[in-house]
Structure 1
Amino acid sequence: MIGRALNPRVKKLVVITLLVKLAVLGLIGASTYLVPFSFTGHDVNFVYPIGEPAYWASAFKTWDANHYLYLADNWYSPFHIGNAFYPLLPFLIRVAGYLALGHNLVAGLAVSTLCTVLSVVYLFRLVATTHDEEVAFRSCLILLAFPTSFYIGLVYTESVFLMLATMLLYYLKENRSAPALACAFLLPLTRPTGILVVVPVLVALFFELRAQGKLDPKKLLVPFGFLAGYGSYLLVMLLATGDAFAGFDAQKVFQASNSLLNMLHPVNWFLSNFVYTEFTLNGFTTSIVNRVFFVVYAVIAALSYRKLDKTQFAYLLITGLVPALTGSLTSYVRYLVIVFPIFVYLALTLRGKTVLFYLVPCSILQVAGVLLHASNRWVA
């Protein structure tokens, strides 16, 4: 493990990741001078501290970040809109806040940056076990250049989720059941789709059993970690609000209106999202951008079956399809950041200088996305 930690490619990736994240933070700081700040977009959303007027720090805590910072300070309470958000990130911010002398925004950015670095390191390690280090290195670069990868350095759950998912699949492959179990427990506490990662875990166990004819009994505990984690989430909500399902009620307030029941009506889902809708460039529920990225995802999913490790392919399907098919594709371009097998497939496809045809335009789009997001003009 130490040898891998000192791998020159890993060290290079850590430096690149930190430079990219620092550049994003610098761009956010400069955004007020580059793009007019939308005070309307700021004021119509939940702002924490309550009623705080917009100022320079507002660019660093847009949209969902305000909810996580509120929860870090106040935790859950009955009938609050913040109940829609999951508890792991607010808990980490609260803990890190003690080290940051109570500056929870600084703590949140630090937590996300650390998780981003670990995400890249474990993505490299995981892909290196299924392909090779060259593919693993390119996969990480392609992830960092993705148009919405700036979210994995903000006060959002993308960085925590991606870190836990890559760690889980890596430790499972390395036959290290204890850390894999810990990751399985924490994923359902991170965001609603955390419980879905049990599917690629079961796929991994199935193929291992078929190949070897037996399984390490300790590995059989890993799927139960998801159940324990989800049960802990419901217990947190019950103790804090008096209702274990308060989070589900709060989610109904948001425009996305996602529901697993929508998956039972795929024809209606397709018609409402691609036929009977008034398309806008990037509206909450009518975004052309989100629909284009879903089509790109679907094409990659169809082409990647023979190229990807079966566990990673299962992860690609479950984390990419369910968020799409349960609602109106709201924020889909952001959700794709955690669907890391997409970047592995692209790394297998784009070799040599051809990878620049991805990295350059995607990096430009990411710069535009950062400026629009920080100015409260766009939320993925």
Structure 2
Amino acid sequence: MRKIVASTYSTSSSPPGPTSAASADLTYAFVPSVPQQAAAPAVEQLSRSRRPGPWKHRWRAWCATDAARTLREAGSVWLASVFAACVLTVMSRIGDSKAMSAHTLFMAWGQYDWGWYQWIADDGYAARWGDGRIAAFFPLYPLLVRGFDVFVPGPSLYAALTVSALALLGAYLLLHRLAEREFGPTVARRASWCLAVFPTGFFLLSPYPSSLFLLLAVGAVAVMRSGRWWVAGSLCALASGTRSAGLLLAVPFVFEYVRQRGWKLRLDALAVLLVPGGLLAYMTYTYLAEGDALAFIHAQKVWFRELHAPWFAVIESANAVSRVPLSTGQVNVLGLGAVLFMLTLLVLSVVGPWKVRRDQFALPLLALTQVLFLICFPVMSQPNERLMSVARHVLEVFPMFLTLAVLARVELINRVYVIAGLTLQGCLLAFYLHGGWIA
């Protein structure tokens, strides 16, 4: 027994060496003898208590995954966007003590077209069928607002802001994954920032369907690139139920399918028939409710939108710049500037050192159809606002923001764009929150 105690003492208290009888007696006096069979479980339990638990291992392993990195990088852009929007909203009301309540600050975001979506979300289309303009607003976004309104306290505007914010987070995440797969991690980190700091980028957080459409369009293209055709068709159907521009997703769908599968069509080629599904559902509803399946087209006439050559609106807007002062022609300047900016990026995406690869040609092809769709239906009621709302809708042309992220690898371009974009966005947001008409 003395040998066991001495061994236990020497390994736990002092280095091994010769011991005298006196020291052995001291050992017996102060350290009780413990059998090895009893000491081993205690030592093992102590070592286990110092190890990280299984959940910590899982957490650390997950933090090292691509999904966690995407969430960190894209989520930080989203948090910065929401925080900046909140700060600018408060700053825009400084000096007006009556407008500093949380309710008043939130309600300042409910401008212009939000009124139409609010009527649809609260009362449905039937309450406003007498006004032919309401059919121009597609149903998926107000349906989601109505659903979230059950859980989000307060007026329906709060639910609308919640839907837009969550959709924007999803759009940033999908855009990051798509950009990383197509252009690498450096471009992926910049892509969401390029979109967020665009001068009209705050519309992605406003009670409009822009962020929802962006989420669906980016998701659809991402799954097209990976060859999941039925999922892509379903997302395209939801996009066409959000905005009529969702039909344009059929162009990259066909291009990608032929590129990946050739002209040997399989059963999954039928997934392209899902693309107009959302629009067809809306047309069925308007036919059953009002007997007019083409109500969304007839509504465009009430809004004075007509089909013209793509250069018509651009030339008209350029002529208006010289004769209309900026104080009243801000919509024209913003619309024209947004179109020219997108067209410049479009050219750079197919020509020069920043052009995309041949297998990525679906991206500029989609961007081209989107820009043409925007400029071929000008507003004819206002000669100075032919490109009305275009400055907001270009946010949905996400392939060009991927091209911009590639350009932003040049530090000078990155700094100029960020500074100019943030400055203009701050001014435009303050103007918008005070009822100014932008897009």
TM-score of the aligned structures, taking structure 1 as reference length: 0.85
Matches within 5 A, 1:17-32: 17-32=78-93
Aligned residue number for residue 274 of structure 1:
318
Aligned residue number for residue 258 of structure 1:
305
Matches within 5 A, 1:349-364: 349-351=407-409, 353-354=411-412, 355-364=414-423
TM-score of the aligned structures, taking structure 2 as reference length: 0.74
Partners of 1:280 and 1:288 within 8 A in 2: no
Corresponding residue SS for 1:111: helix
- Choose which of 309, 313, 319 in structure 1 pairs with 2:364: 313
Cα distance between partner residues in 2 of 1:285 and 1:82: 26
Aligned residue number for residue 44 of structure 1:
none
Q: Which amino acid is 2:67 matched to? A: L
The superposition leaves residues 296-347 of structure 1 with CA deviations (integer Å, 9 ceiling, x where unpaired) of 2222211211523211111110112210122121122111111112211111
Aligned residue number for residue 337 of structure 2:
292
C-alpha deviation, 1:215, in angstroms? 5.7
C-alpha deviation, 1:280, in angstroms? 4.3
Cα distance between partner residues in 1 of 2:365 and 2:134: 31
Shift in alpha-carbon separation, 1:34–1:358, aligned structure 2, 3 A:
farther
Aligned residue number for residue 324 of structure 1:
375
Partners of 1:31 and 1:371 within 8 A in 2: yes
Partners of 1:10 and 1:124 within 8 A in 2: no
| 2:382 is the alignment partner of 1:336 | no
C-alpha deviation, 1:8, in angstroms? 1.6
Gaps of 5+ in 1: 38-53
Aligned residue number for residue 116 of structure 1:
168
Aligned residue number for residue 137 of structure 1:
189
Cα distance between partner residues in 2 of 1:283 and 1:258: 21
Aligned residue number for residue 70 of structure 1:
119
Shift in alpha-carbon separation, 1:295–1:242, aligned structure 2, 3 A:
same
Aligned residue number for residue 346 of structure 2:
301
Cα distance between partner residues in 2 of 1:175 and 1:242: 39
Q: Which amino acid is 1:369 matched to? A: L
C-alpha deviation, 1:99, in angstroms? 1.1
C-alpha deviation, 1:107, in angstroms? 0.9
Q: Which amino acid is 1:79 matched to? A: G
Corresponding residue SS for 2:276: helix
Aligned residue number for residue 16 of structure 2:
none
Partners of 1:279 and 1:286 within 8 A in 2: no
Partners of 2:136 and 2:296 within 8 A in 1: yes
Shift in alpha-carbon separation, 1:123–1:55, aligned structure 2, 3 A:
closer
Partners of 1:285 and 1:329 within 8 A in 2: no
Gaps of 5+ in 2: 1-61, 379-385
| 2:431 is the alignment partner of 1:372 | yes
Partners of 1:198 and 1:226 within 8 A in 2: yes
Corresponding residue SS for 2:246: helix
Cα distance between partner residues in 2 of 1:115 and 1:145: 17
Corresponding residue SS for 2:94: helix
Aligned residue number for residue 238 of structure 1:
287
Shift in alpha-carbon separation, 1:340–1:36, aligned structure 2, 3 A:
farther
Shift in alpha-carbon separation, 1:29–1:252, aligned structure 2, 3 A:
farther
Shift in alpha-carbon separation, 1:280–1:286, aligned structure 2, 3 A:
farther
Aligned residue number for residue 154 of structure 1:
206
Shift in alpha-carbon separation, 1:174–1:268, aligned structure 2, 3 A:
closer
C-alpha deviation, 1:83, in angstroms? 2.2
Corresponding residue SS for 2:435: coil
Cα distance between partner residues in 2 of 1:60 and 1:273: 28
Cα distance between partner residues in 2 of 1:141 and 1:56: 25
C-alpha deviation, 1:171, in angstroms? 1.2
Q: Which amino acid is 2:346 matched to? A: A
Aligned residue number for residue 41 of structure 1:
none
Matches within 5 A, 1:175-190: 175-190=227-242
C-alpha deviation, 1:232, in angstroms? 0.8
Cα distance between partner residues in 2 of 1:221 and 1:102: 44
Aligned residue number for residue 252 of structure 2:
200
Cα distance between partner residues in 1 of 2:107 and 2:397: 29
* More off after superposition, 339-348 vs 151-160: 339-348
Q: Which amino acid is 2:200 matched to? A: T
C-alpha deviation, 1:75, in angstroms? 0.9
Q: Which amino acid is 1:274 matched to? A: A
Question: Greater relative contact order: 1 or 2 (C-alpha under 8 angstroms, separation 6 or more)?
Answer: 1
- Identity, % of aligned positions: 25
RMSD of aligned C-alpha atoms?
Answer: 2.7
- Choose which of 70, 79, 84 in structure 1 pairs with 2:136: 84
Partners of 2:233 and 2:271 within 8 A in 1: yes
Aligned residue number for residue 12 of structure 1:
73
Cα distance between partner residues in 2 of 1:186 and 1:163: 10
The superposition leaves residues 228-271 of structure 1 with CA deviations (integer Å, 9 ceiling, x where unpaired) of 222112112223333222233333333xx333x313xx565555
Q: Which amino acid is 2:145 matched to? A: I
Q: Which amino acid is 1:324 matched to? A: I
C-alpha deviation, 1:94, in angstroms? 0.5
Partners of 1:119 and 1:163 within 8 A in 2: yes
* More off after superposition, 109-118 vs 350-359: 350-359
Between structure 1 and structure 2, the one with the greater Rg is 2
Cα distance between partner residues in 1 of 2:68 and 2:405: 20
Cα distance between partner residues in 2 of 1:185 and 1:36: 46
